[in-house]
Structure 1
Amino acid sequence: MATQFAGKRWRLFTLAFVTGLYTVLTLGLYRFWQKTRLRRWYWSAIRPGGQPLEYVGDPFEKLLGFLIAVVILAFYIGVVNLLLMFASFSLFHGNFAAYLLSFVGVVPVWFYARYRARRYVLARTRWLGLRFGLAPGAWGYAFRALLYWVLTLLTLGLLWPLMTFRLEKYRTDRTFYGDIRMQQEGRWTMLLGALKWIGWSLVVGLVTLGFALNGLVPLVVLGCVVGPVMFLYGLAYYRVETLKRLTAHKRAGPLRLTLEARPWRVLWITGSGYLFAGLASAVPSLVLLGLFLHLQSLGEQVTVGHVTEALAQADRWLVVALSVMTYFGIFLVWTATTHVLVTMPLWRHYATGLTVYGTEHLPQIRQRPRDEHTEAEGFAEALDVGASL
């Protein structure tokens, strides 16, 4: 069963821009409704076998969960930081140790929040009327993620595939579709090959260093260009290749998956999309600057000196108002264009490459109970991590 993607760029741009404008006008309160509406659009655009996914999340759940999480985190961070600051001044006569330990203490909460956000999103996602779900296990995931990150850093990235596989297996083995549990099969060593381009980029870096020590300037310049490009491609290749291999070894009862995706395509969409989004975001600044100069110069010829003088002599509140308008104009255009030029093309690329096998057994799958998940993805919202689409 192949997957189609039915979304249109202009409809998405309008939705992202208008909901972003409402978010600005409500001082951020509308963002819970914005995220809900955007998710419903993306989910409905992905159609395995022609049947769209459904997102049934409630913005009031998100708002309430956010408020609960803020209260808990404020108490946790406040009490912990107070104790750490007291210990730091008592034992080390300074606050550096307190700040360091405070950061380390928040890292497990960061991973915890990511898992909780994933659990909420899956619990509010349906296909063919059947709910997805994720079993509890956020603290287990947080401590495993912390452990594997330490191992990865200590081995200079050599155990990155081990971390990728083990964390994905932890999440997948606790994921449900209806009443069937998913399983992540395979071994972590099957991901080692995905590191090859990153490895080659490091080799190029070492060779370039050798050229520099021998004074071979042209080859050093060439290596400084080839190495970073190869490294960026290596990151995209690792992401795409591990995703493909892990997907091919997932099983949900009789259902199996395969994914076709191209690293160069992903890298091109990401790089060109953010570049054009950045250029588009400059439009509000240019428009408002032109309006400002028109108001100040009254049609006279404008030079750099005129601009500087006009800014110096302008009314302070006019400058503040135009600065605020420019900032939010950039924010709105950037948000809408990145959805259209980056997020949507990436989703479409991955979605159209996804194939589901064993769908003839779908009638045998039964509904699972609804997961209330009272605090929704509030912790991820409060920490601003893992709560995106």
Structure 2
Amino acid sequence: MSFVPQQPPPLPPLSVTFSGARSEFFRLVSRGAAIELITLGFYRFWLATDIRRHLWVNTSVDGDSAEYTGRGKELLIGFLFAMAILVPIYLAYFLVTVEAERYEGFASIPLLISFYAFGQFAIYRARRYRLTRTVWRGVRFWMDGSGWAYAGRAMLWTLLAVLTLGLAWPWRAAALERYKMRHSHYGDLRGDFEGRGWEFFKQAWYLWLIAPFAILLFPLLPFVYAQFKAVEWRWWLSGIRFGGVRLESSLPVNAFHGLYWKVIGWFILLSLVYVIYLGAVIALGMSLLGLGKDGLPQAQALATQMLLVVAMVPGYIALILAVNVVMRLYLVRDMWAVALDSVRVYGIEAMANVAAKGDLASALGEGFADGLDVAGF
């Protein structure tokens, strides 16, 4: 009589917890915005690294938090290398576009398509960089696959989405996420994505019907977009697999409504502050110009106008940085916390005996994504 060892029963589903203090994150992004102003934006590489490190280290599963090992210096070097490649391409693109449009309308469209494809390549490589800087329980995530193969798939699916007026978008999202996840690994565990386009479409089909009216009626648009993002997050999280590990999300469809409206409210308030600031600057300028007085020297008037322009620029930059702080607080930190609170992890025991594997990826992909302004989080 042979003895067959019994398998231990599966562990109950585990919650994903986020313990990051909101006040700490606010101080981080506020200080970062101030340093960005002083450094003319170059601090954003270190700020992005600090934000990810804050989110990763405060996210834990089964009592173990993640670790982000990326460095701001890597992103800066990757960005500079990317710019050395992209600047000549930008210049050539501009010159060819101007010359092409002289002879035939829409002749520059192939160049725009090429830039879109290059942007998709950059998105894939940037994800690869971020994944290889993510560690949990001492084991690194990593990614293989081809950025150009991903870009080709993205181009074809985007064309189909355009031809179907957006109806094919759920299938596009499923196909691209499936390619990314099947080339993602946690040590020697291979990733997969089980979300289907039809499932996504069934959960959000009514938003396609409402969208045209929402574009015309602004108060409706934030609700529609926030609801779409909530459906997308829930569908995406519930489709993630790593070996025998699977995620399941119960994110409600109205989870992000308040976050988007708070961002809009802050944007309106900050814009009003900027308008008041501009009014004060103009009033000061009119006073310096001596409104109502005759004989003001032309050189003095020109100098005063230049001072007005110089005074307006810092206000505009401060407005942009303040809006960035608001967006990072609500649409990065708060959205992250809300989404993770809805997640349950099944089969975590499959990660108990994972062997380390995979190499670090270059930050050049992140630099490309930043230079093309397509960098996702």
Q: TM-score w.r.t. structure 2 length?
A: 0.82
Within 5 A, what are the aligned runs for 1:276-291? 276-280=266-270, 282-283=272-273, 286=276
Within the alignment, does 1:105 sit opposite 2:114 as a pair? yes
Structure 2, unpaired ranges of 5+: 1-13, 293-300
* CA deviation profile, 1:150-191 (whole Å, cap 9, x unmatched): 111112222222111111111111111122111112543222
Identity of aligned residues (%): 28
User: Cα gap change, 1:49/1:280 in structure 2, threshold over 3 Å: closer, same or farther?
Assistant: farther
- From 3, 27, 34, the equivalent of 1:14 is 27
- From 362, 370, 376, the equivalent of 1:381 is 370
Residue aligned with 1:29, SS: coil
User: Cα gap change, 1:130/1:277 in structure 2, threshold over 3 Å: closer, same or farther?
Assistant: farther
* CA deviation profile, 1:40-76 (whole Å, cap 9, x unmatched): 1122232223322211111121111111111222344
Tell me the equivalent position of 1:61: 74
Within 5 A, what are the aligned runs for 1:58-97? 58-79=71-92, 88=100, 94=103, 96-97=105-106
Tell me the equivalent position of 2:16: 3
- From 252, 261, 270, the equivalent of 2:260 is 270
The answer to whether the Cα contact below 8 Å between 1:197 and 1:230 also exists between their aligned partners in 2 is no
Aligned residue identity for 1:30 = Y
Task: Give me the whole-angstrom Cα distance separating, in 2, the residues matched to 1:320 and 1:200.
Answer: 46
Task: Give me the whole-angstrom Cα distance separating, in 2, the residues matched to 1:329 and 1:188.
Answer: 42
The answer to whether the Cα contact below 8 Å between 1:149 and 1:163 also exists between their aligned partners in 2 is yes
Aligned residue identity for 1:40 = R
Tell me the equivalent position of 2:151: 142
Structure 1, unpaired ranges of 5+: 206-221, 299-304, 306-311
Tell me the equivalent position of 2:296: none
Tell me the equivalent position of 2:353: 364
Task: Give me the whole-angstrom Cα distance separating, in 2, the residues matched to 1:46 and 1:370.
Answer: 23
Task: Give me the whole-angstrom Cα distance separating, in 1, the residues matched to 2:21 and 2:275.
Answer: 27
Whichever structure has more helix as a proportion of its residues is 1
Tell me the equivalent position of 1:214: none
User: Cα gap change, 1:369/1:264 in structure 2, threshold over 3 Å: closer, same or farther?
Assistant: same
Within 5 A, what are the aligned runs for 1:205-284? 233-280=223-270, 282-283=272-273
Task: Give me the whole-angstrom Cα distance separating, in 1, the residues matched to 2:152 and 2:229.
Answer: 23
Residue aligned with 2:364, SS: coil
Tell me the equivalent position of 2:188: 179
Task: Give me the whole-angstrom Cα distance separating, in 1, the residues matched to 2:373 and 2:172.
Answer: 23
Length, aligned pairs only:
356
User: What's the CA shift for 1:194?
Assistant: 2.3
Task: Give me the whole-angstrom Cα distance separating, in 2, the residues matched to 1:156 and 1:290.
Answer: 47
The answer to whether the Cα contact below 8 Å between 2:126 and 2:363 also exists between their aligned partners in 1 is no
Q: TM-score w.r.t. structure 1 length?
A: 0.80
The answer to whether the Cα contact below 8 Å between 1:197 and 1:233 also exists between their aligned partners in 2 is no
Within 5 A, what are the aligned runs for 1:309-328? 315-328=304-317
What value does the CA root-mean-square deviation take over the aligned residues?
Answer: 3.3
Aligned residue identity for 1:156 = L
